[in-house]
Structure 1
Amino acid sequence: MNSAARLVLLACLAATLPAAEFSTTLTNAKGGDPLIEATVALIPLDQPAPPAPVTVQAEIEQEGQEFHGFITIVQAGTRVAFPNRDTVQHHVYSLSKSKKFELPLYNPGGQESLVFESTGLVTLGCNIHDWMIAYLVVVPTPWFTKSDPAGRATLTAPAGRYRLEIWHPRLAKPVTEEITLADDTPSVHPFSLTLKPDRRIRRGGAGKSGGY
């Protein structure tokens, strides 16, 4: 059996396994405020994760001289589009180890896209607007989400063992923990987290970018 056929078989097997629910609530240890837009991923330990469907595409737009969304999470192999919905040109780039790239100056209404094959954190910037920053977290699993305005995150995945990974730019390092999901038994794991100060540059009238 070749590798492509094996991945298809594993994906089919994963789809037939009993589903289990994982949920967490993320809060700031200082004051108890919810941690918004943290990435939460379940990486299977007992079998390979199904690959990302080729039809899946994410988007990080530029508007109001800011990136939207500020934090994006995708599975490795996903194509990410970078549409310019602004009134000025942008030059999107990253110097991150997992994906170094440049999308040279392109005009309002233009769009570029890239496939992100390697897992890891990709920090995005604009070469002509120094305050613009965004984060793309590339994970080796289809079971991922972000925490909502109440700091909650919920995932449904096949029963089994997983490595839980939580990331946010205000964490000194990612939170990792091995967990086991059981058939039809909700798994609840709240976290009270120590956060670094919020040093993101704020600009008046910047628009709809997510906060934290």
Structure 2
Amino acid sequence: MKNRFLNISKLALAILVLCTQANADSFLVQDQQGLPLKNVVLEFTVNSASTSLVSGPKTLIMDQVDKLFKPDVLVIHQGDFVDFPNSDNIRHHVYSFSSVNPFELKLYSGRPEAPLQFNNAGVAVLGCNIHDSMVGYIYIATSKYVLMTDEQGLATLDNTVKYESVNVWHASALTSIKNITYDDITKKANDNALFVIDLVVQSPEPRNTFQSIFNQNGE
């Protein structure tokens, strides 16, 4: 009876996996060496503009921990707010020169007075005026269909979403935002039925500064 139960459980798990795969488009993003890339943002343009709109702004968190921005990359939508708590026991001076939303939060500890709203689509590069090696990114999306790859370079989109193209962004990519059409993506499926996206990236220096990253991204 126990073995029969285990066999049924395995079968149910296999069916679940197959159903999940059948109802999703899976993407693998890799660099020029064929290595997976994490923290790649995939923003999908859908067939109907009205279905891609995001309703109601949210407030998301970009923390500062151990002299690092946490997370490294924060994905939000146009109109969302971002709170910048300082969880370190030292003060930070957070700022961005990026044209999508230049701002400055002068030397502070704890929490700033109020979250900041980001109304323009694009990428904001963040720095700290006190600790120049602190670099973070906020990706402001227009479409509600936006994903970010995991440690294995993978991301999954429900296949009920009918998209025309995808904008691909990575902090180290030589092209700031790469647009790929649906037809071009579907032509590049590998043996595991993953849609493969190739990016040319440059290896970051061990201690990149905000200024070098900002210039690299052309902001």
Whether 1:168 and 2:170 are equivalent positions in the alignment is yes
Change (3 A) 1:75 1:141: same
From the superposition, tell whether residues 157 and 117 of structure 1 become closer, same or farther in structure 2 (CA, over 3 Å): farther
For structure 1, the 5+ residue unaligned runs are 1-19, 182-186, 203-212
The higher relative CO (CA closer than 8 Å, separation ≥ 6) is in: 1
Higher strand share: 1
SS in 1 for 2:97: strand
SS for the counterpart of 2:54 is coil
The unaligned stretches of length 5 or more in structure 2 are: 1-22, 186-192, 209-219
Structure-1 residue corresponding to 2:201: 195
Q: Distance in 1 between matches of 2:106 and 2:150?
A: 33
Contact preservation (8 Å) 2:31, 2:200: yes
* Structure 2 counterpart of 1:122, from 117, 121, 124: 124
- Which has the higher Rg, Structure 1 or Structure 2? 2
**Residue 196 of structure 1: CA displacement?**
1.1
Residue 46 of structure 2 contacts residue 161 of structure 2 at CA under 8 Å; is this kept in 1? no
Letter in 1 for 2:207: I
Q: How far did 1:189 drift?
A: 1.9
Aligned to 1:179: 182
Aligned partner of 2:152 among 150, 153, 172:
150
Which residue of structure 2 aligns with residue 110 of structure 1? Answer: 111
Alignment deviations for residues 62-83 of structure 1 (CA, whole Å, 9 cap, x no partner): 0111111111111111111111
What is the CA distance between 1:188 and its match in structure 2? Answer: 4.4
Tell me how far apart the structure 1 counterparts of residues 197 and 54 of structure 2 sit (CA, whole Å). Answer: 29
Within the alignment, does 1:85 sit opposite 2:87 as a pair? yes
Q: Do the aligned residues in 1 keep the contact of 2:60 with 2:82 (CA within 8 Å)? A: yes
Q: CA deviation at 1:192?
A: 2.7
Alpha-carbon distance in structure 1 between the residues aligned to 2:122 and 2:195? 24
CA distance in 1, matches of 2:60, 2:106: 20
In 1, Cα distance between equivalents of 2:74 and 2:159 = 20
Amino acid at match of 1:28: D
Q: Deviations over 1:22-77 (max 9, x none)?
A: 321011221x22101111111224323222433x2221100111111111111111
- Are residues 1:140 and 2:146 paired? no
- SS of the equivalent of 1:190 reads strand
Runs of 4+ in 1 over 4 A off after TM superposition: none
Match of residue 25 from structure 2: 22
Instruction: Name the SS for the 1:80 alignment partner.
Output: strand
Residue of structure 1 in register with 2:5 after alignment: none
Distance 2:161 2:41 in 1: 21
Percent identity (aligned): 25
Alpha-carbon contact 2:46-2:165 (below 8 Å) kept: yes
State the alpha-carbon separation in 1 of the partners of residues 142 and 136 from structure 2.
20
Q: Which residue of 2 aligns with 1:53?
A: 56
Aligned residues: 177
1:110-138 CA-partner distances (Å, limit 9, x unpaired): 24411111001100001111111101111
Q: Which amino acid aligns with 1:170?
A: S
Q: Which has the higher helix share?
A: 2
Cα pair 1:52 1:142 within 8 Å, conserved: no
Name the counterpart of 1:36: 38
